[in-house]
């Protein structure tokens, strides 16, 4: 068994969403990666979009870590593995530092990750110090790295913010790690589900380089390899994991992957391969012919942004229909499920004919229709995951199963799981490594 391994590590958090965590995390990663250092990044909590930016910045795969969804043992194993050859580990937090159960703060305390608080200081001065002090001291035992002011108006504003950190007499300063000025050159654009995908922007790397350049002028950005050692963390070796039974050995799982179906955790692909499956990819958006396979996975994404093209993808549609008529399983989650209904009504109220493998319609809403960690219990075991969608479905189908919120049955009704013949579908996004046996059941014939 490997021994504990030390590596500089930092958890980048904020008092709320929208403060600039992803920009700062990616900028710091890019700054050190282009200096030749080996940077590994992780995203706290369920998220598909932020990891895409972190992967662009580091040039390395980015995994999600979460004490509930992925589990403490998985987090320990991933951090320990990253520490073997990394010069810096960056963990981007989720929502506000203390939001959620468990929160980013809980993760920091459990693994000793020093917290860097990124605060949007665009509309504050002295209150910046009070907010930083509160974040640092709200929970005892929270490892602390310091504070970075974001979206600052200028040098004078920055000096006011730094002075505000002195706080009340005797309280001691919260380490000042600098100010990043407001600049549209490195703003990361957003839409209804979060950040725009890095792959959709031709200037994505230029934006990261501009953000890295801005960060390089701060005390945080001026830390070299020796300076980073102040945040060295010792990561314990993981316990020996039980082997995954090859329940999908000899099976080919066909996976949709393109700009419309892009919400794919790398861990899910790894789990399917650990189960013995061979993975083949295709693009419904490109109207690819359907590859031959034993099962199909239609992951989430943005079908609502590509509804006309998907409506016209008759060759892929015919191939999927033939697959279903041959009684071969389909697992469709969130955006993948939206594709299978008879109609999709976009955010402008325009109806689009979809593929009609499920009766009913889905309609985009202006407000979130589902959000939060969820668990799906099947005969083979319980899968953990989450839900995050702006659409609602209307269907005559009766659910064959229902997810339950991680916060308890009283916290929400959960998400319906539908089955019609070989098609299984839900708004639920599964974290497949949480129960490989239940994952295999999604891709094998039979009733869930």
With beta carbons less than 8 A apart as the criterion, state whether 294 and 253 touch.
Answer: yes
Query: How do strand 370-378 and strand 295-298 relate by DSSP bridges?
Result: unpaired
Residues 121 and 163: beta-carbon distance below 8 Å: no
Nearest to 55 by CA among 175, 204, 211: 204
Q: Show the tokens assigned to 309.
A: 């093209």
β 295-298/115-120 pair status: unpaired
- Determine which one of 7, 44, 262, 334 is catalytic: 334
**Residue with token string 């039980």:** 242
Q: For residue 288, give both structure tokens.
A: 């690819």
44 is catalytic: no
Q: Residue holding tokens 């075991």?
A: 381
Residue 195: half-sphere exposure toward Cβ, Cα within 13 Å: 25
Active site residues: 334
């Amino acid at each position: 068994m490997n021994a504990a391994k030390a590596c500089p590590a930092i958890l980048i958090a904020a008092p709320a969403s929208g403060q600039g965590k992803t920009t700062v995390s990616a900028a710091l990663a890019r700054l050190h990666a282009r200096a030749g250092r080996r940077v590994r990044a992780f995203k706290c909590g369920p998220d598909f979009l932020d990891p895409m930016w972190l992967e662009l910045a580091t040039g390395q795969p980015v995994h999600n870590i979460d004490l509930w969804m992925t589990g403490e043992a998985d987090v320990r194993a991933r951090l320990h593995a990253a520490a073997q050859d990394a010069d810096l580990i960056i963990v981007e937090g989720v929502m506000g530092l203390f939001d959620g159960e468990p929160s980013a703060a809980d993760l920091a305390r459990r693994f000793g990750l020093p917290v860097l608080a990124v605060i949007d200081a665009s509309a504050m001065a002295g209150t910046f110090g009070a907010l930083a002090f509160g974040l640092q001291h709200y929970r005892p035992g929270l490892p602390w790295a310091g504070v970075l002011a974001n979206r600052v108006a200028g040098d004078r504003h920055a000096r006011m913010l730094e002075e505000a950190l002195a706080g009340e007499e005797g309280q001691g300063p919260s380490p000042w790690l600098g100010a990043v000025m407001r600049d549209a050159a490195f703003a990361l654009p957003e839409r209804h589900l979060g950040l725009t995908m890095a792959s959709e922007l031709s200037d994505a790397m230029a934006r990261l380089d501009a953000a890295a350049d801005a960060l390089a002028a701060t005390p945080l950005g001026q830390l070299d390899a020796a300076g980073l050692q102040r945040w060295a963390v010792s990561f314990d070796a993981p316990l020996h994991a039980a082997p995954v039974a090859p329940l999908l050995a000899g099976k080919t799982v066909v996976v949709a992957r393109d700009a419309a179906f892009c919400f794919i955790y790398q861990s899910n692909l790894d789990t399917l391969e650990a189960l013995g499956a061979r993975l083949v990819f295709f693009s419904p958006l490109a109207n690819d012919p359907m590859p031959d396979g034993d099962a199909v996975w239609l992951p989430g994404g943005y079908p609502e942004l590509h509804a006309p093209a998907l409506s016209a993808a008759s060759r892929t549609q015919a191939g999927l229909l033939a697959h279903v008529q041959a009684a071969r399983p389909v697992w469709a989650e969130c955006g993948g499920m939206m594709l299978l209904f008879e109609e999709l009504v976009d955010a402008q109220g325009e109806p689009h004919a979809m593929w009609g493998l499920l009766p009913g319609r889905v309609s985009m809403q202006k407000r979130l229709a589902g959000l939060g960690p969820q668990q799906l219990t099947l005969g083979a075991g319980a899968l953990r995951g989450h839900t995050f969608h702006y659409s609602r479905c209307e269907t005559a189908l009766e659910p064959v199963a229902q997810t339950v919120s991680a916060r308890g049955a009283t916290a929400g009704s959960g998400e319906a799981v539908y089955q019609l013949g070989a098609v299984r579908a839900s708004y639920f996004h599964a974290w497949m490594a949480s129960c490989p046996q239940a994952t295999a059941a999604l891709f094998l014939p039979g009733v869930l």
